[in-house]
Amino acid sequence: MDRRGFIKRSSLASGYFLIPGFLKPLGNLNPEVTKKNLVVIQLSGGNDWLNTIVPYKNDLYYKKRPQLGIKEGKLILLEKDLAFNNSLSLLKQFYDSGEMAIVNNVGYPNPDRSHFRSMDIWHTASQSNEFLHTGWLGRYLDNECKNSFEGIEVDNYLSLALKGKKLNGLAIKNINQLHKELKVPYFNDIAEAAKSDVLNEDNQGYLYKTLLETSSSVDYIYEKNKIVSNTFEYPNTELGKQLKDIAGFITSGISTKVYYVSMSGFDTHAAQLNKQNNLLEQYAKAVSAFIVNLKGLDKWEDTSIFTFSEFGRRVEENASAGTDHGTAGNVFLFGKNLKKKGIINELPDLINLDDGDLKYHIDFRSIYKNILHDWLNADANKIISADVNPFKVL
């Protein structure tokens, strides 16, 4: 069995011991600190964007959604006949200050309504009929970075988006707990053994050495992070905790360029209204706290936030007061120095549908390329080969 197969099949690689995937060995533990940070927030399950950014002046919206359509009096009006779901009220301040961009009709050709396949497409930036084993951010790490901790997912497991061919990101749910786990005698003994020159280049030796390098990476993050005391109050939600951890990482001075979090629960096939409103409120409170916190820490100018979901929902509500899997939707971008602000493209077309679904007009990979080239200063065409129309937000 080759190393890749051995690691893949090993229980150690599954996160059983809370070790972040036994990922790529470290290069330099004292890298130069970058000034640019990207925070990606994934809304898992397929967020209903039509009830998030609401076309409240379109009669077809209410005709297609007699139960779910949100009336104008319960909305926060924006421009171009669109409005925020009231649950996003805390984000209006950033919209008004020009620190938020909303892109409509984002998707890809020949959309897939499977959660797993569509998320793979978003993670890898592939064509709908193309299967890739590396993520768009993993390839960024391969091409532009030296260390695995330059991409961190605040979770126990690493998303495909952060998996590269040579270098993967790190999955860290709780840096203090992970550091403690790696200091138990069992792991210490393995790490000490890995320092020995007598280990052969076999599967066992490779695992031991990778554990040593992972342990060193965690030590680096832990030591930098432990001197930070972030007392800013965040909502007591999973996303709130994750974003507070990221604010701590950013403040600590570690050289991480990309942070990744996900928020689940958006697969709203039944009784959607209150369920989605609650999720959107959690999202808005956490993101608002994060931005205000970073502003107070003088780190907001160096940070951008990108929010997406694997697909939107169908235009017409179903019989269970919910919505089924759809296609195109919105993405949000937040930042101090956006090139485009507010609602930056045309409204969703509720007349010319594709089998009941919105047609995409903006290929999501054009936004990825914008992020890579204009924010992370990377060679976007080397990372994403798709030939897509340029689209500038950052």
pLDDT of residue 162: 97
Span 339-350, average pLDDT: 97
Cα dihedral angle (278, 282, 284, 287), rounded to 10 degrees? -170
Ordered alpha helix ranges (H), the chain:
3-9, 59-64, 92-96, 115-124, 136-144, 175-181, 185-194, 203-225, 238-252, 272-296, 364-370, 380-383
Identify which has the larger pLDDT, 14 or 355: 355
- Tens of pLDDT, residue by residue over 314-328, are 999 999 999 999 999
Query: Which residues, 6+ apart, have CB-to-CB distance to 200 below 8 Å?
Result: none
The two structure tokens encoding residue 87: 């649950």
Encode 118-139: b = buried (16+ Cβ within 10 Å), e = exposed.
Answer: bbbbbbbbbeeeeebebbbbbb
Q: Three-state SS across 317-333?
A: CCCCCCCCECCCEEEEE
pLDDT at 343 over 50: yes
Other CB atoms within a 10 A radius of the CB of residue 302 amount to 15
* Domain ranges across the chain: 31-145+226-383
Asked which of 122-131, 136-145, 203-212, 220-229 is least confident by mean pLDDT, the reply is 203-212
CA-nearest of 261, 357, 203, 354 to 39 is: 261
Unique residue bearing structure tokens 């209903």: 48
As a whole number, mean pLDDT of residues 13-19 equals: 36
User: For 269-303, what is each residue's pLDDT tens digit?
Assistant: 999 999 999 999 999 999 999 999 999 999 999 99
Helix (H, G, I), strand (E, B) or coil at 204: helix
Structure tokens at 196: 């020995």
pLDDT of 137 higher than 90: yes
pLDDT tens digits for range 156-184:
999 999 999 998 999 999 998 888 877 77
| pLDDT at residue 216 greater than cutoff 90 | no
**What's this model's pTM, rounded to 2 decimal places?**
0.89
Question: Is the pLDDT assigned to residue 192 strictly greater than 80?
Answer: no
Q: State the average pLDDT for the chain.
A: 88
3-class SS of residue 83? strand
Is 339 within 8 Å of 313 (Cβ atoms)? no
| Amino acid identity, position 72 | E
CATH, domain range 31-145+226-383: 3.40.720
Percentage of the chain lying above the pLDDT 90 cut: 76
Q: Confidence class of residue 214 from pLDDT cuts 50, 70 and 90?
A: confident
- Whole-number pLDDT of residue 23: 37
Share of the chain above pLDDT 70, in %: 84
Return the amino acid letter for 228.
V
- Residues making up the chain, counted from first to last: 394
